[in-house]
Every structure is written in structure tokens, then in C-alpha cells.
């Protein structure tokens, strides 16, 4: 099998890949949902398995020639079951949203009530956010977080009793605390709802023992595989023993909802193989150490930022991410800090904060995470240095205020982006970060 043909056959794409590699080498990837995969994962993902059609499941395919593919998928399934302590797993979902869609199709009828954490409060689009399929096809009744970022379970119980949801989600995309599986299970059991844990953000931490496992408390678990798990972009749907006790046919319903009656057709076999590789890596002592270091780094970073006067939602973090509350600098200030950080060599993302006075398009916070920088080998002392850079960047944009008029706002942000390109302080930070990153090579 020939290799290294990309440069010869398509130098433009090869060039873009090299540019992206250099960008990552020179900067700090701190979006909590991003990570760096191993070379082994990338090798499986770029393998000849991408060529094979294999609609169906192991032992029951709609195409011939799948004996080897069956071995790959079965191995991936067994590793999921071993890693998460579940009796059933489907590794075919192409990404997180299709996985969550399959759950709806498996257990809900159109129009039935669902509950999930409000999107602006850190929830996910597929958990019932307004304007998405999950609120158009089902009656979405969200629950919220308090001003301090915590969940008031008495309020959630009240909402659940009043609305009798068929399904409740636990898990979020921007929630800096441990996911409350036990507390939400008490609520779901009280009203007879299915409880689904979306652990896309913390799956790797769960395997590492750095976050509680939802398996004893929920009926279904969904996760992506490319965040703290350090795998390829893909997803998994799992059924727990509690789920099978509630409905002995639940595993069959999930599988059918993925294929053939659900959201997709043929699986991506190269992706399945890469997921299997990532799971094997995740069940090693080295990965366990990594998972705990991710949390240690996040806590130290949050503490260092707090000491420097930056407000952190919930006062800190219990997992891999934190939310910077920038409302003191005016609503929508996350837009300015995100751009300033990127100019300085730190990739983060603007994000809403609890009871945000602005909108999701112009949020008042920034979300930071430590999975990718921990993969590169950074430790607690490095987090303190990173905190200094973040605060220096914040100081450069703290006086900007988002304009009220929408048309003027668009022009303001466009001009702002031009202005910070020439900001000398941000240029200096970028040089310092580039030099700093040389000590922490990427895994590929």
C-alpha cells in the first residue's frame, strides 16, 4: 500500500494540512471539546477500511465480504462494554447528534415530553433546544442552572412532576461540575422517565476514573469519541443493565433506531476501528494518569485565573472545563476575548454564562478546557503561566463594549478583528506561547 502520495497528487490540500499542523504546534488548543489523537488512531482512521460497505450488524449484513469488518466492530463493542461497564453498545453512530437522535426514535413517540438542560445554561442542541428537531418533534421542557452555575434539584423535580417527561437528559456541553447522575436518577425514577446520560465531554474521564460512571444510575448512555476519549470523530450509544431492567427490548430498539429504521445507513468502518484503538488506549494506566491530570490542570487554571480577578462560573471546576464570566466588562464580551486569545495563540470559544444578559451569538463568557494541552504533557505549573497570558490578553480588550445596534455591531467586530492584528501585546504573547509550545510536542 503506497503512502505519502497526497503531496504529489493534491499539493493544495497537503499544504493546508501542513498549515493546520503548524498552527497546532505553535498554539494552545483550549476548546474543551477538542483533543489530539494518537498516531495509531489516525492510522486506523486513514486505513482501507473506509472502502467497505457494511450495512447491518455483525453476523447480519446486507453486503458480502464483511467477515473481517465483523471482527473489527465486535472488538470495538467488547471494548466499550469493558470500559464503561455496560451490557450493550452500538458503535455505528457517525457523530453525537445522530446518536442522540437514535435515542429519541427508540423510546419516544412524536410529541411526547422531553427534558434537558437549557442550551444557554450549558446544555446541548439535541437536548431540546429551541429551533432544533428535538424541540420541533417533541415537547421540550428545559431545566435551568442557578446564577452560581448549580442545578436546583427541587426545581427540576417540580418541573418533572408537572410535565411527566418520557425522557430526561443529564449531561451538558458547558457545565463545570460533576454530572449529577444520582440526583437526576431519583427524579427520573419518580416520574417513570428514561434517563439518558450524554457524557460526550467526560467519557475519557469516566474511563480514567476521574469522573463518576453513569452506568448504575441511567438507562442509556451516549457519547462522542473525540473529546476527552482522544479518539476519532464518532459516537456510541450504550444501554445499561438498569435500562434492560426497565425494558428488555431496549437494546434492540436502539440498534434498530440507528439502522435500518433510524438516522443512517452504512457505518464508517475506518471510524469504528479507530474508536476501538482509542478505547484500548483509554484502558491503560497511562490514560488513567492522563485523565486525572486533565482535572488537576483545570482546577489549577481556574484557581490561578480567580486569583487574578477573573470570575469563574461556579467558582471553579470539577472536570475538564471552566466558564469565564465576563459580564463585568459588559454583555457579549466573550466575542472580544475569544478573538484576542486566538490572536495571542490560544484557541478557546465564546460561550453563554448562566442568565447571560446577551445572546448565544454574542455571549458574555468564554469556555476553556485542558484535555488537549494535557495530552501534550503540560502540568500544574504550566497552567499558572497560561493564566497569566489569558489575563494579559483580557486586559487588552477589557474596555471594548458591544454596540446595541445589530448592523453597527457587525461593523464593530469586523474593525475589532483588524485592530487586534496590530496589537503589540498580543503579538508578544503569541511569540512567548510559540516558544513555550516547543517544549511540548504533539503526539503526531
Q: Is 345 left (phi over 0), alpha (psi -120 to 50) or beta?
A: left
Catalytic residue flag (residue 227): yes
Cα 326 to Cα 306: distance, rounded to the nearest angstrom: 12
Query: How remote is the C-alpha of 310 from its chain's centroid?
Result: 24
Q: Is 315 left (phi over 0), alpha (psi -120 to 50) or beta?
A: left
Q: Which residues pair with 197 in a beta bridge?
A: 170, 221
Catalytic residue flag (residue 286): no
Catalytic residue flag (residue 438): no
- For residue 435, give every residue at least 6 positions away whose Cβ sits within 8 Å of its Cβ, in sequence order, or none: none
Best CA proximity match to 368, nearest among 405, 336, 419, 323: 323
Helix H or strand E encompassing 118: none
| Pair 433, 388: CB distance under 8 Å | no
Cα 403 to Cα 353: distance, rounded to the nearest angstrom: 19
Cα 229 to Cα 28: distance, rounded to the nearest angstrom: 19
Q: Which of 29, 73, 121, 198 is catalytic?
A: 198
The one-character DSSP state at 117 is B
| Pair 175, 122: CB distance under 8 Å | yes
Q: Which of 43, 53, 288, 380 is catalytic?
A: 53
Best CA proximity match to 238, nearest among 72, 80, 79, 76: 80
φ, ψ for residue 309, nearest 5 deg:
95, 5
Q: Which of 34, 43, 55, 247 is catalytic?
A: 55
Q: Which of 126, 222, 224, 352 is catalytic?
A: 224
| Pair 127, 199: CB distance under 8 Å | no
Q: Which of 25, 81, 177, 233 is catalytic?
A: 233
Catalytic residue flag (residue 401): no
Cα 175 to Cα 323: distance, rounded to the nearest angstrom: 8
Best CA proximity match to 276, nearest among 34, 41, 39: 41
Q: Compute the radius of gyration of the chain from its Cα atoms.
A: 22
Cα 186 to Cα 217: distance, rounded to the nearest angstrom: 9
Q: Which of 24, 79, 166, 227 is catalytic?
A: 227
Q: How many CB atoms lie within 10 A of CB 43?
A: 14
Cα 418 to Cα 412: distance, rounded to the nearest angstrom: 10
Cα 442 to Cα 153: distance, rounded to the nearest angstrom: 42
| Pair 45, 270: CB distance under 8 Å | yes
Catalytic center residues:
53, 55, 198, 224, 227, 233
Amino acid at each position: 500500500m503506497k503512502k505519502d502520495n497526497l503531496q504529489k497528487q493534491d499539493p493544495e490540500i497537503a499544504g493546508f494540512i501542513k498549515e493546520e499542523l503548524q498552527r497546532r504546534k505553535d498554539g494552545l488548543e483550549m476548546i474543551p471539546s477538542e483533543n489530539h489523537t494518537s498516531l495509531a488512531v489516525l492510522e486506523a482512521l486513514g486505513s482501507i477500511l473506509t472502502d467497505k460497505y457494511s450495512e447491518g450488524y455483525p453476523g447480519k449484513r446486507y453486503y458480502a465480504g464483511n467477515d473481517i469488518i465483523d471482527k473489527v466492530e465486535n472488538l470495538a463493542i467488547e471494548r466499550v462494554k469493558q470500559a464503561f461497564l455496560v451490557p450493550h453498545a452500538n458503535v455505528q453512530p457517525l457523530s453525537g447528534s445522530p446518536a442522540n437522535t437514535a435515542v429519541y426514535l427508540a423510546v419516544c413517540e412524536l410529541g411526547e415530553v422531553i427534558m434537558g438542560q437549557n442550551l444557554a445554561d450549558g446544555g446541548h442542541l439535541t437536548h431540546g433546544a429551541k429551533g432544533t428537531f428535538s424541540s420541533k418533534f417533541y415537547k421540550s421542557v428545559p431545566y435551568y442552572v442557578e446564577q452560581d452555575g448549580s442545578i436546583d434539584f427541587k426545581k427540576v423535580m417540580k418541573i418533572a412532576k408537572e410535565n411527566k417527561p418520557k425522557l430526561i437528559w443529564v449531561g451538558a456541553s458547558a457545565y463545570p461540575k460533576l454530572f449529577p447522575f444520582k440526583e437526576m436518577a431519583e427524579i427520573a425514577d419518580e416520574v417513570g422517565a428514561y434517563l439518558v446520560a450524554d457524557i460526550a465531554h467526560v467519557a475519557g474521564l469516566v474511563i480514567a476514573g476521574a469522573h463518576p460512571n453513569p452506568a448504575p444510575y441511567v438507562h442509556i448512555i451516549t457519547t462522542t469519541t473525540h473529546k476527552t476519549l482522544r479518539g476519532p470523530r464518532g459516537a456510541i450509544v450504550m444501554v445499561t443493565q438498569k435500562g434492560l431492567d426497565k425494558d428488555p427490548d431496549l437494546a434492540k430498539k436502539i440498534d434498530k433506531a440507528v439502522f435500518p429504521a433510524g438516522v443512517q445507513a452504512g457505518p464508517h468502518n475506518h471510524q469504528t476501528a479507530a474508536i476501538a484503538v482509542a478505547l484500548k488506549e483509554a484502558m491503560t494506566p497511562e490514560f488513567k494518569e492522563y485523565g486525572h491530570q486533565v482535572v488537576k490542570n483545570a482546577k489549577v487554571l481556574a484557581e490561578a485565573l480567580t486569583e487574578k480577578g477573573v470570575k469563574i462560573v461556579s467558582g471553579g471546576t470539577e472536570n475538564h472545563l471552566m466558564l469565564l464570566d465576563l459580564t463585568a466588562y459588559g454583555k457579549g464580551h466573550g466575542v472580544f476575548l475569544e478573538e484576542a486569545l486566538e490572536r495571542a495563540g490560544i484557541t478557546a470559544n465564546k460561550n453563554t454564562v448562566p442568565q447571560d444578559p446577551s445572546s448565544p451569538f454574542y455571549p458574555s463568557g468564554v469556555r476553556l478546557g485542558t484535555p488537549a494541552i494535557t495530552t501534550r504533557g503540560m502540568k500544574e505549573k504550566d497552567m499558572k503561566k497560561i493564566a497569566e497570558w489569558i489575563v494579559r490578553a483580557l486586559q487588552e480588550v477589557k474596555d471594548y463594549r458591544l454596540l446595541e445596534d445589530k448592523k453597527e455591531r457587525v461593523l464593530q467586530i469586523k474593525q475589532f478583528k483588524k485592530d487586534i492584528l496590530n496589537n503589540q501585546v498580543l503579538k508578544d504573547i503569541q511569540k512567548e506561547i510559540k516558544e513555550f509550545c516547543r517544549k511540548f510536542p504533539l503526539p503526531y
